[in-house]
A and B are shown apart, each in its own frame.
Chain A
Amino acid sequence: MNRVIVVGASLAGLATARSLRAQGYDGELVVVGEEPHRPYDRPPLSKEFLAGTTDIADLTLEADGEHLGIDWRLGTRADRLENGRVHLDDGSTWTYDGLVIATGTRPRTDVVGARLDGVHLLRTVDDALALREGLRRGGRVVVVGGGYIGSEVASTARAMGCEVTLLVSGTTPLHHALGPHAVAVSDLHHRHGVEVVTRARVTGIRPSGGSLVVHLADDRQLPADRVVLGTGAVPAIAWLDGYGIELGDGVLCDPTGGTSLPGVVAVGDCSAWFDPALGRHHRKEHWTSAIDQAPVAARTLLGGEAPATAARRAPYLWSDIHGSRIQMAGHAELADTCEVETGSVADGSFVAVYRRGGHPVAVLGVNQPKHFMSVRRRLVSIPAVPSLQGATA
């Protein structure tokens, strides 16, 4: 193996480059990234970086003095993958012995008015800087989105002194992620003065005398100085479409990151690895999944046994909302029971354990890191639980 190309210069791409080197690969390593920046961390973009309490230097994902011997091609997009060649938008064409696809996701923008001035998306550090600038001016902010990013931005904007309304399509924010316990997040918003509008369907955003109006399906109109769209993301895989690699909701991979093309692996938010616990392909948008997949995908590319633990760990993610630490691990969708084991939802400090046939399959913690970890560690063996095979077919 003489040349490995990594497309996507962010968390998953860098982690895989690091694993390749750690596993002894000493050939040419080219990393192509559409953004002009070296890899940086995204979670702070809706939290402390947006608030302005940390700066760009804190976001870097490379360790001090880390030298991976990478040929960086930044500000350059891969346009297509054809006949074993990667074509870049600077006109160059690259052959490879190994290819790592790590192009992440792009925010959804399918709302009328998404491109108006004062309407923000949040995926990149440049998006975050623009939004920070806007939030510093205060005023009325409408955040659209029932996921983590929506709730985090609402919480940060509120802490920065804005008047914040959060629009969610379900019955509570994070309903999809947290199920019955999502009410803990609604309470947090309520206590911190964020107005939550549930079952909201946005029909469009329109300009109105220097500011904006958000129109809802029930004819309500919400005036806003700025609007943030946190309406989810889609895998950034359009550049691969039509070139013989199997795609679904993400680049389809086997349980070790291998794609339908030889010598090509996919990692991070753009990839849907086959998950033996679920019995299907599953794309995750979690920071730690990218980290856990990297050594496995590197091993797959170099040819060898996968490291034992990594990708078999249950998925884990965290969120910070109004100063509360929310942690979730495992597959809550597999559960048939769910019980609060420690603390109480009303007090905003608890651990809830999700079980299937008596086995813990997921855990949610709010401000309970210690107890959360003790349960999280027991989730490790989920794929080994026979009753789970084909559970979600």
Chain B
Amino acid sequence: MIPVCPLSALPRGEAVRVEGDVPIAVFHTEDGEVLAIDDTCTHQDASLADGWLEGCEVECPLHASRFNLHTGAVDAPPAKRPVRTHQVHIQDATVYVTLSEDEPNLPPGVSAGSVGAAP
């Protein structure tokens, strides 16, 4: 389990990016759910934590593909592959994430460890 932040530091409607080999985005929806997915869009190197959160979907900040925060599924191209979802636990008012063991669907030209390295 990775500790992310105190729940109070993540207001509803906001997201936080957790750095790592493969960065994670943790969202607090307007409905009060806390959900985690891979932060990097599967189309190109964009951070989904910077995206447009609406309900339990986040729209990629660059080209507007939408990812479902519960399932990781993408609605329509240009992104074509889903993102991984990760389990979130809240303990003692702190947000923790358990990483998925699946392979991430990183975009072309991005590998684990190199995310966010492009300009």
Measured CB to CB, the residues of A under 8 A from B are 15, 18, 41, 43, 53-54, 60-64, 287-288, 291, 309, 316, 318, 323-325, 327, 367, 369-370, 372-373, 376-377
Per-residue contact bits, chain B 62-78, to A (CB 8 Å; 1 contact, 0 not): 11100000000010111
Contact A369 B52 (CB under 8 A): no
- Chain A CB within 8 A of B23 CB: no
Contact B119 A377 (CB under 8 A): no
- Chain A CB within 8 A of B47 CB: yes
Contact B77 A54 (CB under 8 A): no
Set B47, B54, B63, B76: member contacting A370, Cβ < 8 A:
B47
With known contacts A323-B119, A367-B119, A62–B77 Cβ distance under 8 A? yes
B113 CB → nearest A CB, Å: 20
Set A64, A316, A370: member contacting B50, Cβ < 8 A:
A370
Nearest B residue to A316, CB-CB: B64
> Would you list which residues of chain B between 30 and 84 have a CB under 8 Å from chain A?
46-47, 49-52, 54, 61-64, 74, 76-78, 80
Report how far A323 CA is from B45 CA in the complex, Å. 12
Inside 8 A of A372's CB, which chain B residues have their CB?
61
Report how far A291 CA is from B59 CA in the complex, Å. 12
Contact B47 A18 (CB under 8 A): no
The 9 A-B pairs of least Cβ separation, nearest first, read A370-B50, A373-B61, A373-B50, A323-B119, A369-B50, A61-B77, A369-B61, A288-B64, A41-B78
Summed over the interface, the residue pairs from A and B with CB atoms below 8 Å come to a total of 49
Q: Is the interface of B mostly helix, strand, loop or mixed?
A: loop
- Chain A CB within 8 A of B20 CB: no
With known contacts A287-B63, A325-B119, A370-B47, A18–B76 Cβ distance under 8 A? yes
Contact A369 B77 (CB under 8 A): no
Report how far A367 CA is from B116 CA in the complex, Å. 12
Inside 8 A of B78's CB, which chain A residues have their CB?
41, 61
A289 CB → nearest B CB, Å: 11
Report how far A318 CA is from B64 CA in the complex, Å. 11
B42 CB → nearest A CB, Å: 12
A21 CB → nearest B CB, Å: 12
Set A318, A370, A373: member contacting B52, Cβ < 8 A:
A373
Nearest B residue to A60, CB-CB: B77
Inside 8 A of A373's CB, which chain B residues have their CB?
50-52, 61
Contact A377 B77 (CB under 8 A): no
Report how far A372 CA is from B52 CA in the complex, Å. 11
Inside 8 A of B74's CB, which chain A residues have their CB?
63
Inside 8 A of A287's CB, which chain B residues have their CB?
63-64
Report how far A15 CA is from B75 CA in the complex, Å. 11
